[in-house]
A and B are shown apart, each in its own frame.
Chain A
Amino acid sequence: MTGFLDNVLTGLALGAVYALVALGFVTIFKASGVLNFAHGSLLLLGGYLTAILHDDLGFAGALAVAVLVTAAVAGAMDRLLLQRGEQDPRTAHVQTIVTIGVDIVLVTDLARRIGGDLLSLGDPWGDAVTSLGPLTVADSRLAAIAVSALAIAAAFALFRFTPWGLSLRAAAEDAEAAALMGVRLTRIRTVAWCLAGGLAALAAVFLAAFPAPGLERTTGQIALKAFPAAILGGMASPAGALAGSLLIGLTEALVAGYQTELHVLGEGFGDVAPYAVMVLVLLVRPTGLFAAKGATRV
């Protein structure tokens, strides 16, 4: 039983971090119709900045700078590379391909800088553990859950209660009608990219923290697991991204926890499990868990 609870807690921590990534991914898609394949490299950029700055600025200062710079890079990428020329939703697929190019450039440069090293991010939790009754939990996991929950709650509050959030949701429903109400589409979507970049930088901290050995050049590939989370959540739904991420995190942790019992499925099934879950969910609900509901276009 403690083994099970242990796995559930690990799964929640993983899921919470995936949610930071998936939420950004979904926000970008909602705001611009673009699938951001550079999301993993933004995450890696955030982690790398925290790693090289924490000696001088301390962990909190380094993280703050990393979040801001990554947000700015994401926003600049949208403004300077993607929103060129005509404002036309039909070019979203072209912009998606541009993000693949940006990803290659960013990852190549960061991989060259990181090399084969494992970078410490200087986080305050180290390998400390806390006992919760029969359970022993790494502090970094508890911090992942707490910080992610706060960041996600803040993001949802932005969607729900601010003029920017209302503009974003209105523009996602009908960009032209939103424009007629005086919503500045270009500004709304650039802010969405900044938010997503900031969340990715924050996620990097927990993906590199204990029990992971540190930041590697491949850490950005974690974003690949947030893709199925976003897709099975319904692609344009922040709530769906959250649910999908928790589902993926729990699946991964439980499959890893019981891998001796599941050995018929072969070694390393934990890595495949998120995609298996995605395929199963899409078989039952082809539009994802939280696809747009009640939307009747006249």
Chain B
Amino acid sequence: MPEAPPDEGPALHVEDVDVVYGRALSALRSVSLTVPHGGVVTLLGANGAGKTTLLRAVSGTLRLHRGAITAGRIRYGGTVLDGRDPVAAVRAGVVQVPEGRRVFAGLTVDENLRSGGLGLGRRAPAQVREARERVFSLFPRLAERTHQAAGLLSGGEQQMLAIGRALMAAPRLLLLDEPSLGLAPQMVYRIAEVVREINAQGTAVLLVEQNAGMALSLADHAHVLEVGEVRLAGPADELARTDAVRRLYLGEETGPETSSGTGRGAA
């Protein structure tokens, strides 16, 4: 159950954002989107469309890739996030789970989870315990392996750990970058369930996915990015019915003239 009605509490506003890498390569042009409090929004697009770039712009890690926001605003509630460092995003309650899981392989599961709270400084032990219990109730398998090195976990378990690590910072908005990447269908289904559950607990989600079927089933709103610009936007169920999305991202044939070769490969 959501803790607050969707129109109360902070929302993420990305307004007309331009991002440039290395002062020359334009990666995003005038991109706008909104993630309401407690909502789920998904961002679809081919490789190189700028999905990860948008998440970097929100989480403040563009600088690590020689990128910069050259125009526009990013706000979360009352906090301005553009031009700030990742700590500002984490403190504001916006935490990103990076693409490819990126758990700390040489650290134990327990240390990985503790690292999720590093951005918040000293916290009351009760808060930390509460966050841990939430993670362990979502991912009971992690509770059995707290002393195991994270690098020895399976791909699905690593994805759970990456999400759990981010949840340790008690985010109000979770940025998920392709959580289903490289996972078995069974595990993709499990991750989708977890995202639904996290959202039901009151955390908003901005979901970047290649698996458009999964993403559109989870999201309220969807945006389609193409070469750095928003091409389509709207309620997820409406977007799922449009021909372009069905053809390009859901791999369905929409007419006799469409060749089946343009299916999933584009997504």
Q: Do A and B come from one complex?
A: yes
Q: Is A178 an interface residue, CB under 8 A from the partner?
A: yes
8 Å CB contact of B119 from A177, A182, A296 = A182
List A281-298 residues whose CB lies under 8 Å from chain B: 292-298
Task: Give 9 new A-B contacts, CB below 8 A, not counting A181-B116, A294-B152.
Answer: A166-B115, A169-B106, A175-B64, A176-B98, A177-B102, A178-B104, A181-B117, A296-B151, A298-B155
* Assembled-state Cα–Cα distance A295/B151 (Å): 5
List B167-186 residues whose CB lies under 8 Å from chain A: 169, 182
8 Å CB contact of B105 from A175, A176, A182, A294 = A294
Q: List 20 A-B contacts (CB under 8 A).
A: A86-B66, A87-B64, A88-B64, A88-B66, A166-B118, A169-B107, A170-B112, A175-B64, A176-B61, A177-B103, A178-B104, A179-B61, A180-B59, A180-B61, A180-B86, A180-B97, A182-B169, A184-B87, A295-B106, A298-B155
Q: List residues of chain B with CB under 8 Å of any chain A CB.
A: 59, 61, 63-64, 66, 85-87, 89-91, 95-98, 100-107, 111-112, 114-120, 149, 151-152, 155, 158, 165-166, 169, 182
Task: Enumerate chain B residues within 8 angstroms of A295, measured Cβ to Cβ.
Answer: 105-106, 151
List the 7 closest pairs (A to B, CB-CB), nearest first. Answer: A182-B119, A182-B90, A177-B102, A173-B104, A295-B105, A170-B115, A296-B151
8 Å CB contact of A298 from B115, B119, B169, B182 = B182
Contact indicator B102/A170 (Cβ below 8 Å): no
Contact indicator A181/B106 (Cβ below 8 Å): no
List A77-92 residues whose CB lies under 8 Å from chain B: 86-88
* Assembled-state Cα–Cα distance A173/B103 (Å): 9
Task: Enumerate chain B residues within 8 angstroms of A86, measured Cβ to Cβ.
Answer: 63, 66
Task: Enumerate chain B residues within 8 angstroms of A175, measured Cβ to Cβ.
Answer: 64
* Assembled-state Cα–Cα distance A166/B63 (Å): 23
Closest to B120 in A: A182
Q: Contacts A86-B63, A86-B66 given: A170-B105 contact, CB under 8 Å?
A: no
Q: Contacts A181-B116, A296-B151, A298-B155 given: A173-B105 contact, CB under 8 Å?
A: yes
Task: Enumerate chain B residues within 8 angstroms of A167, measured Cβ to Cβ.
Answer: 115, 118
Chain A 19-47 per-residue mask, 1 if CB under 8 angstroms from chain B, else 0: 00000000000000000000000000000
Contact indicator B104/A294 (Cβ below 8 Å): no
